[in-house]
Chain A
Amino acid sequence: MQRAALFGRSTRKKLKAPRWIWSSLSVVVGFLLFGAVWYLLSHTVAPRVPDPLATLQTFLELIRNPFYDNGPNDKGIAIQLGVSLLRVFAGFLLGVLIALPLGVLVGSSELLRGALNPVIQLLRPVSPLAWFPVGLAAFAASEKAAVFVIAICSLWPTLINTAAGIASVPEDYKNVARVFRFSPWKYLTRVLLPYALVYILTGFRLGLGIAWMVIVAAEMLSGGTGVGFFIWDSYNALDLNRVMAAILLVGLVGWVLDSVLGYALRKVRV
């Protein structure tokens, strides 16, 4: 039965039951399996890592009182998450403001594509940890450096996807714009961007995923507030339960962000 739920799109039909029962059952089974492996590992090879039960308990404690504020180093988890989300949105938005226009330019000119592609390939794989000192040097403030790191790490998928979308606009649509004398603005807003929208949203989705992944690292370095700081601070206080619970939360929030953009993408596709 587990096999059917996990792998069997075709076998599922034979086991006459509503689809949603099987799909939710498979989710439960997936989590149970994951929890079991985690439990085993934490009780064998990694005994200092909290097991799922302890983590879940701390998790519930954290979200029971999420908004308390006892001064700079002791805030509720919702406040920490909120701060991190704000930073992520600020950095991501900054990235979009750079990547979207640049992507349109790069996508519409083969010459620019040739010129900028090597630069993009060079900068894209650089780790957020490496960018942080650059941000610090440039802005002389750790808060701004964190936003900068998020921006520069998350803008690549938007840039690359936008450029790919713009570059693949079919000749037929360009001809419509030429025959009917569309102004550059109308060409951009009625032809290029609508056609590339699916590409752009896909870029956003990947970029936001990266931004959320980078935030923890950025905040470990910048310190002060946010979920990254929370994790590092808990580790220093030797409270590994809180580390694991925070990881769970980071994962959940990331999942929600991804689902929102995934939903938008499905809306656009149909």
Chain B
Amino acid sequence: MGGYLLLSEVSKRFGSYVAVEKFSLRVEQGEVVSLIGHSGCGKSTVLSMVAGLSRPTSGRITLEGRELDGPGPDRGVVFQNYSLLPWLTVYQNVYEAVDSVHRDLTAEDKARVAEKFLRIVRMWEHRYKRPGEVSGGMKQRTALARALAINPKLLLLDEPFGALDALTRTTLQDQLLNIWNAAFEDAFLRALWGEEQKTILLVTHDIDEAIYLSDRIVVMTNGPRATVGEVVEVGLERPRDRKRVLEHRTYVELKEYLLYLLTEKYGRQEVA
């Protein structure tokens, strides 16, 4: 047994449709694990069960040895559709989450935390706008700031960079790695939360992103009855340098292998 996050034979059905079946995965503390698979295979379904938002129909999920019982402040979520509250400003969306989770902080410190993370995702200048007034990428950055600002031990990210341009995407990926590595550049945050390594479960469609960020990549089979297809170890040492990674032989091989898995082995075959 053991393992920090453990999914054992987790299944989820919606009515008569079995979306996920016997999904088993073990994630150690400090790992970054990516889930990739074709659209509709069940990645968000798995993530939302880990978030505690929906219960597995059968099977168990444990976090630090305890069976999950609903959502908790130990898990921060970036939802696939951002799920910002449209009647609150960008700032309020982050602040209300900080305010709810960090009840022991003073109002001043809560405001500072919200500000720090809005600055990290470069949304501070837009803090007075409402979600309806900003672009998809900006919504995504706000949702990321909200999830990071509650300082969760486990980050659950559902395509957190999908709507971003390449440049913003790479900077935010690096910021995420910094935070994962508990290397808050900011003295205030360092003093507040010390150095606790985070664990990340990430859904992505982007093979490059999966390789660059993860320790392991879980390729899911197609639904219905989707499950773990293949788990691919990314043997690249950390810290990773983006340029060097791209030229690395392992990287090229991994990418080819993942492409093969997604297009051939678990390619979208029409079911008769």
Q: Is B110 an interface position by the 8 A CB rule?
A: no
Q: Is A183 an interface position by the 8 A CB rule?
A: yes
> Do A178 and B100 touch across chains, with their CB atoms under 8 A apart?
no
CA distance A109 to B50 in the complex (A): 26
> Do A173 and B96 touch across chains, with their CB atoms under 8 A apart?
no
CB contacts (< 8 Å) of A182 on chain B: these are: 96, 100
Interface residues of A in 180-220 (CB under 8 A from B): 180-183, 186, 190-191, 194-195, 197
> Do B96 and A179 touch across chains, with their CB atoms under 8 A apart?
no
CA distance A195 to B83 in the complex (A): 13
- For the complex formed, measure the closest distance between the CB of B89 and the CB atoms of chain A, giving whole angstroms: 12
Count chain B residues whose beta carbon lies closer than 8 angstroms to a beta carbon of A.
25
Q: Is B51 an interface position by the 8 A CB rule?
A: yes
CB contacts (< 8 Å) of B84 on chain A: these are: 176
> Do B88 and A179 touch across chains, with their CB atoms under 8 A apart?
no
CB contacts (< 8 Å) of B87 on chain A: these are: 194-195, 197
Q: Is A175 an interface position by the 8 A CB rule?
A: yes
Which of the 9-residue segments B73-81, B205-213, B232-240, B245-253 touches chain A?
A: B73-81
> Do A186 and B83 touch across chains, with their CB atoms under 8 A apart?
no
Q: Tell me whether A178 and B146 are in contact in the complex, defined as CB-CB below 8 angstroms, given that A183-B100, A191-B85 are known contacts.
A: no
Residue from A172, A176, A178 having most chain B Cβ neighbours under 10 A? A176
CB contacts (< 8 Å) of B97 on chain A: these are: 180
CB contacts (< 8 Å) of B146 on chain A: these are: 180
Q: Tell me whether A179 and B75 are in contact in the complex, defined as CB-CB below 8 angstroms, given that A186-B96, A190-B96 are known contacts.
A: yes
- For the complex formed, measure the closest distance between the CB of B57 and the CB atoms of chain A, giving whole angstroms: 18
Q: Is B150 an interface position by the 8 A CB rule?
A: yes
Q: Tell me whether A178 and B71 are in contact in the complex, defined as CB-CB below 8 angstroms, given that A172-B79, A172-B83, A194-B85 are known contacts.
A: yes
> Do B85 and A173 touch across chains, with their CB atoms under 8 A apart?
yes
Instruction: Bits for B119-156, please: 1 = Cβ < 8 Å to A, else 0.
Output: 00000000000000000000000000010001000000
- For the complex formed, measure the closest distance between the CB of A18 and the CB atoms of chain B, giving whole angstroms: 31
- For the complex formed, measure the closest distance between the CB of A143 and the CB atoms of chain B, giving whole angstroms: 40
CB contacts (< 8 Å) of B48 on chain A: these are: 175
> Do A190 and B101 touch across chains, with their CB atoms under 8 A apart?
no
CA distance A178 to B53 in the complex (A): 8
CA distance A178 to B87 in the complex (A): 18
- For the complex formed, measure the closest distance between the CB of B98 and the CB atoms of chain A, giving whole angstroms: 9
A–B complex contacts, Cβ < 8 Å, 21 sampled: A173-B83, A176-B84, A178-B53, A178-B70, A178-B71, A179-B53, A179-B77, A180-B97, A180-B100, A181-B71, A181-B72, A181-B73, A181-B101, A182-B100, A183-B100, A186-B99, A190-B88, A190-B96, A191-B85, A194-B85, A194-B87
Given A179-B51, A190-B88, A190-B96, 18 other A-B residues pairs in contact with their CB atoms under 8 A: A172-B81, A173-B83, A173-B85, A175-B53, A175-B71, A175-B83, A176-B85, A178-B53, A178-B70, A178-B71, A180-B97, A180-B101, A181-B72, A182-B96, A186-B96, A186-B100, A191-B85, A194-B88
Q: Name A residues whose Cβ lies closer than 8 Å to a Cβ of B.
A: 172-173, 175-176, 178-183, 186, 190-191, 194-195, 197
